[in-house]
Amino acid sequence: MFEVLYVTFWSHVKHGFFLIRYTLKSKFEKRAGWATLLLMSQTLLVKNCRPWGKASQDILVKDGLINSITPAGSTAVNAGQIIDAENQLIFPGLVNAHAHIDKNLIGQPWHRNELPGATIRDLVDYERKIQLEKGLSTRVQSQKDVEASIAAGTTHIRTHIDIDPEIGLTGFEGVLGTKAAFEDRLTMQTVAFPQRGMLIYPGTIELLEEALKMGADAIGGLDPSTVDRDPAQHINVVFDMAVKHGVEVDIHLHEPGMLGAFSVELIIERTKALGMQGLVTISHVFCLGMIDEAYLDRLIEQLLENDISIMSLGSGRGEFPPLKKLADAGIRLCTGTDGVRDTWGPYNYVDILERVKLMGYRSGFRRDEDVEMLLNVATYGGAAVMKDGSYGLEVGKAADFVIVPGEAPTQAVVELKPRSYVIKRGRVVAKDGELMAG
Ligand SMILES: [Zn+2]
């Protein structure tokens, strides 16, 4: 137990913060260090920035919120910190609404992938084998993912975390540690996720419940038929936990064609029966790209009625949901990186703009407006799924921005240049593609 011995103030009022020298003392040691204390009236002016490629604006930020957005140069403002964006693009922070930050190999020697097969069971078993061999710390690896993500412009992450009797809650606890360490630089939601199956793996349900008690924001599920082989029971258990703990549902659904569509129907039924409209996301849902048009239209109608969100990455193999059709229908869409630098495959990385590019490429989009629709999915769509009411490039919203070189949004998606600035709650957290010191 430390007690504060003394502090000396080092005033930096002009830059909006105090630098404090502190000395702590315990029975055994004395420790000194520096800390920063933000002033309540901290202001930041981002001048000459072009929201979504439109006319140049000045954005004034006060206490982490957007105070005004005015035509560039129209107001004289005396701000604590000024950034000249030099007419670059500005977007609200990128939203990674589907990650697995507990399982990456970032910073480790390149893993030569020797997957024995391509079923979910093959992927999951191989992943666990390599993880146990390497003995990596989830706390350390999840931080590496978060640091690389922030540097690439991500301000929000929803991450699914493996929970099962073999590893218990160690992965979950590691991610919670990272969430706490980055709480002022990243908005994070956690999903308690039965990656290795739930009903087929005794002890998993109890651990998922424990994670929900420890603060998980959502309960996950996985392929109710092909993994757990009891779709109704799987979905009942997941939804019952959600109701009991007052959390959202986010289910991984890789099942193909009619089998997957049947799971979608069951999820819709439970959502409706329990009044969980607006609180359910189905991730991947490849089946929506495999069923006939008339059936798809019926499902879209029911998804809309029950306000169920769809997460898609524009999967690298086979079919995936028709994103334009779903967006046009009004379905809330989000996207994410899924696992990055992991044993599932070599392609995924942390850049959400790159994900937009891949989705557009796989969707065969050519027109700027279609790419911009996907960019909207990767920003506003994800923030809506994460229920962040403070999100957006509007007065009164949180100052979460990414500033990127380019004339037009689609150009930023195609060229993937390093992010000039990433700003979280009015504070620069990354510059020129590099994370700022914490
Ligand atoms: Zn996933």
Distance from the alpha carbon of residue 379 to the mean position of ligand 1, in angstroms = 18
- pLDDT tens, position by position, 253-266: 999 999 999 999 99
Instruction: Report the alpha-carbon distance of residue 337 to residue 339 in Å, rounded.
Output: 6
Quick check: 26 pLDDT over 80?
A: no
My answer on whether 272 and 330 are in the same domain is: yes
Distance from the alpha carbon of residue 338 to the mean position of ligand 1, in angstroms = 5
State phi, psi for 18 to the nearest 5 degrees: -100, 140
Distance from the alpha carbon of residue 254 to the mean position of ligand 1, in angstroms = 10
Instruction: Report the alpha-carbon distance of residue 376 to residue 383 in Å, rounded.
Output: 10
Closest CA to 379 of 409, 408, 407: 409
In a domain, 20, yes or no: yes
Quick check: 12 pLDDT over 50?
A: no
Distance from the alpha carbon of residue 282 to the mean position of ligand 1, in angstroms = 11
Full domain range(s) for residue 173: 94-385
Distance from the alpha carbon of residue 5 to the mean position of ligand 1, in angstroms = 48
Question: With contact defined as beta carbons under 8 Å apart, do 432 and 103 qualify?
Answer: no
In a domain, 394, yes or no: no
**Full strand arrangement of the beta sheet holding 154-162:** 94-99, 154-162, 187-193, 218-222, 248-253, 280-284, 309-311, 333-334
Q: What is the CA radius of gyration of the chain?
A: 23
My answer on whether 30 and 159 are in the same domain is: no
Distance from the alpha carbon of residue 344 to the mean position of ligand 1, in angstroms = 10
Total tally of structural domains belonging to the chain: 3
My answer on whether 251 and 346 are in the same domain is: yes
Instruction: Report the alpha-carbon distance of residue 401 to residue 417 in Å, rounded.
Output: 16
pLDDT classification of 15: cutoffs 50, 70, 90: very low
In a domain, 391, yes or no: no
Mean pLDDT in residue range 241-252: 98
- pLDDT tens, position by position, 392-436: 999 999 999 999 999 999 999 999 999 999 999 999 999 999 999
Distance from the alpha carbon of residue 406 to the mean position of ligand 1, in angstroms = 31
In CATH, what number is assigned to the domain containing residue 318?
A: 3.20.20.140
pLDDT score for 226: 94
In CATH, what number is assigned to the domain containing residue 16?
A: 2.20.25
In a domain, 230, yes or no: yes
My answer on whether 333 and 191 are in the same domain is: yes
3-state secondary structure of 170: helix
- Cβ neighbourhood burial of 309 (10 Å; 0-12, 13-18, 19+): buried
My answer on whether 103 and 226 are in the same domain is: yes
Distance from the alpha carbon of residue 35 to the mean position of ligand 1, in angstroms = 38
- pLDDT tens, position by position, 268-299: 999 999 999 999 999 999 999 999 999 999 99
Distance from the alpha carbon of residue 392 to the mean position of ligand 1, in angstroms = 26
Share of the chain above pLDDT 90, in %: 86
Distance from the alpha carbon of residue 369 to the mean position of ligand 1, in angstroms = 28
State phi, psi for 239 to the nearest 5 degrees: -70, -35
pLDDT score for 79: 85
Quick check: 28 pLDDT over 70?
A: no
My answer on whether 111 and 158 are in the same domain is: yes
My answer on whether 297 and 367 are in the same domain is: yes
Quick check: 58 pLDDT over 80?
A: yes
User: Which is more confident, 333 or 119?
Assistant: 333
Distance from the alpha carbon of residue 60 to the mean position of ligand 1, in angstroms = 37
Distance from the alpha carbon of residue 219 to the mean position of ligand 1, in angstroms = 13
Q: Average pLDDT over the chain, rounded to whole?
A: 92
> What are the distances in angstroms from CA 43 to CA 40, 163, 394?
9, 42, 16
pLDDT score for 142: 98
Quick check: 8 pLDDT over 80?
A: no
Distance from the alpha carbon of residue 47 to the mean position of ligand 1, in angstroms = 38
Quick check: 24 pLDDT over 70?
A: no
Distance from the alpha carbon of residue 251 to the mean position of ligand 1, in angstroms = 9
Distance from the alpha carbon of residue 283 to the mean position of ligand 1, in angstroms = 7
Distance from the alpha carbon of residue 227 to the mean position of ligand 1, in angstroms = 15
My answer on whether 9 and 152 are in the same domain is: no
Distance from the alpha carbon of residue 19 to the mean position of ligand 1, in angstroms = 42
Quick check: 95 pLDDT over 50?
A: yes
Instruction: Report the alpha-carbon distance of residue 124 to residue 248 in Å, rounded.
Output: 24
pLDDT score for 78: 79
Distance from the alpha carbon of residue 90 to the mean position of ligand 1, in angstroms = 29
Distance from the alpha carbon of residue 141 to the mean position of ligand 1, in angstroms = 17
Mean pLDDT in residue range 172-192: 98
- pLDDT tens, position by position, 128-142: 999 999 999 999 999
In a domain, 393, yes or no: no
pLDDT score for 97: 98
My answer on whether 186 and 334 are in the same domain is: yes
pLDDT score for 318: 81
Quick check: 6 pLDDT over 70?
A: no
My answer on whether 153 and 301 are in the same domain is: yes
My answer on whether 84 and 60 are in the same domain is: yes
pLDDT classification of 42: cutoffs 50, 70, 90: confident
In a domain, 338, yes or no: yes
In a domain, 326, yes or no: yes
The model's pTM is 0.91
Distance from the alpha carbon of residue 250 to the mean position of ligand 1, in angstroms = 10
Distance from the alpha carbon of residue 312 to the mean position of ligand 1, in angstroms = 10
Torsion of CA 355, 381, 371, 339, to 10 degrees: 10
Compute the 3-state secondary structure of the chain and give helix, strand, coil in percent, each to the nearest 5: 35, 30, 40
Question: With contact defined as beta carbons under 8 Å apart, do 363 and 390 qualify?
Answer: no
- pLDDT tens, position by position, 371-390: 999 999 999 999 999 999 99
Quick check: 17 pLDDT over 60?
A: no
In CATH, what number is assigned to the domain containing residue 70?
A: 2.30.40.10
pLDDT classification of 315: cutoffs 50, 70, 90: confident
In a domain, 220, yes or no: yes
Quick check: 336 pLDDT over 70?
A: yes
Distance from the alpha carbon of residue 24 to the mean position of ligand 1, in angstroms = 44
My answer on whether 10 and 57 are in the same domain is: no
Distance from the alpha carbon of residue 371 to the mean position of ligand 1, in angstroms = 23
Distance from the alpha carbon of residue 121 to the mean position of ligand 1, in angstroms = 14
